Structure 1
Amino acid sequence: MPKPIRLFVHAVDRLNLWVGRFAMALFFVLAGVLLTSTLSRLFFGAPVNWALEMSQFILSAYYLLGGAYTLQRDGHVRMDLFWSRMTPQRRAGIDAFTALFVVFYLVVMLWGGVSSTSYAITYGQKNYSAWAPLLWPVKTVMTIGICLMLLQFIANFFRDIAAARGKTI
């Protein structure tokens, strides 16, 4: 593979490694929010009206930012009907082919994410609830997560093309 492609693959892997480890820490933030809500209701008899939505936002960031890391570590679920019987080169070829469909899907999702985030920023979109938080921060994180997933799929595509040819990146 040409050097710019190898540099791209390594840069995307490093970025998603860092972001994935950050996303892992969000689990502890989520636990803190839920614990605060529980303790507030238990000891003060006053539920925290922002805890449910904040936990949903944190969980969304957790799985969208961690998605590219999971893809990088080959942690997504796959149907192993014929997979285990194939050679590594054939697996890589099939992965490269199917990645094209996923990349198309992620491009459409990214387009919608950018549009939705732009709308939320322009019009100050808020959630319809008692807390009524602004939605642009969570939509921005979602769009970034989709973008990182797209970059990781492209990097994996290049890696699969190299593996199908009997080489590694």
Structure 2
Amino acid sequence: MKPLLSLSSLIDRINEWVGRTVYWLILVMVIVSSGNATFRYIFSNSSNAWLEVQWYLFATVFLLCAGYTLLRNEHIRIDVICGRLPRRTQIWIDIVGTIVFLFPMAMLILTLSWPMFMKSFTMMEMSSDAGGLIRWPVKLMIPLGFSLLMLQGASELIKKIAILTGDMADPGDHGHHHHTSADGEAV
């Protein structure tokens, strides 16, 4: 289990670095948006390229930070129901959800997006809007983002299994004091 936990730690560090680096693009997005709005209203001048830069930056943040969001446990979940269940059951729900939903969905999107990116790259596809940008860089964000999400899903799966086997402390328990049954199950 130690080699898998080392791999998990490496994946976590990669997504942590990507997330902390890429989320600075939000500031760039605000600056570009403000500048574009200022030019449009003061000088009655605007550019599709600047609008597309905003769109590209948003897509980059959204896609490349998906793995980071999973790492930080800030993705959408139904805590109203799951939060009332024993911690061990919550971990099993995360394991099943990762295997049954996250991996197939991410693999499907990765599989479908790669040829779309390659076609755009080989054609040097340009935006159809006047003054628009080249499209392949933003299309590359789809397979990159879902690759990072799949890797983080694997990392989370490793950690959940390690918690169940006792090879890792449960950071998600947050020191809650649960009553335990005779077999150690939280109730």
TM-score normalised by structure 1 residue count: 0.92
Give the 5 Å matches for 1:16-95.
16-95=15-94
Amino acid at match of 2:29: L
Measure the CA separation in 1 of the matches of 2:136 and 2:48: 20
Report how many aligned residue pairs link the two structures. 168
Give the 5 Å matches for 1:1-169.
1=1, 3-101=2-100, 102-168=102-168
Gaps of 5+ in 2: 170-187
3-state secondary structure, aligned to 2:129: coil
- Structure with greater Cα Rg: 2
Higher share in helix: 1
Amino acid at match of 1:71: L
Measure the CA separation in 2 of the matches of 1:42 and 1:82: 48
Measure the CA separation in 1 of the matches of 2:125 and 2:135: 6
Displacement of 1:36: 1.5
Dislocated runs of 4+, deviation >2 Å: 164-167
Measure the CA separation in 2 of the matches of 1:32 and 1:89: 45
Gaps of 5+ in 1: none
Amino acid at match of 1:44: F
Amino acid at match of 1:133: L
Displacement of 1:35: 1.4
3-state secondary structure, aligned to 1:85: coil
Measure the CA separation in 1 of the matches of 2:89 and 2:67: 23
Displacement of 1:25: 0.2
Amino acid at match of 2:153: F
Displacement of 1:46: 1.0
RMSD: 1.4
TM-score normalised by structure 2 residue count: 0.84
Measure the CA separation in 2 of the matches of 1:25 and 1:166: 37
Measure the CA separation in 1 of the matches of 2:112 and 2:126: 18
Deviations along 1:83-113, whole A, 9 cap, x unmatched? Answer: 1222222211111111012101101111112
For the 8 Å contact 2:19–2:65, the answer to whether it is kept is yes
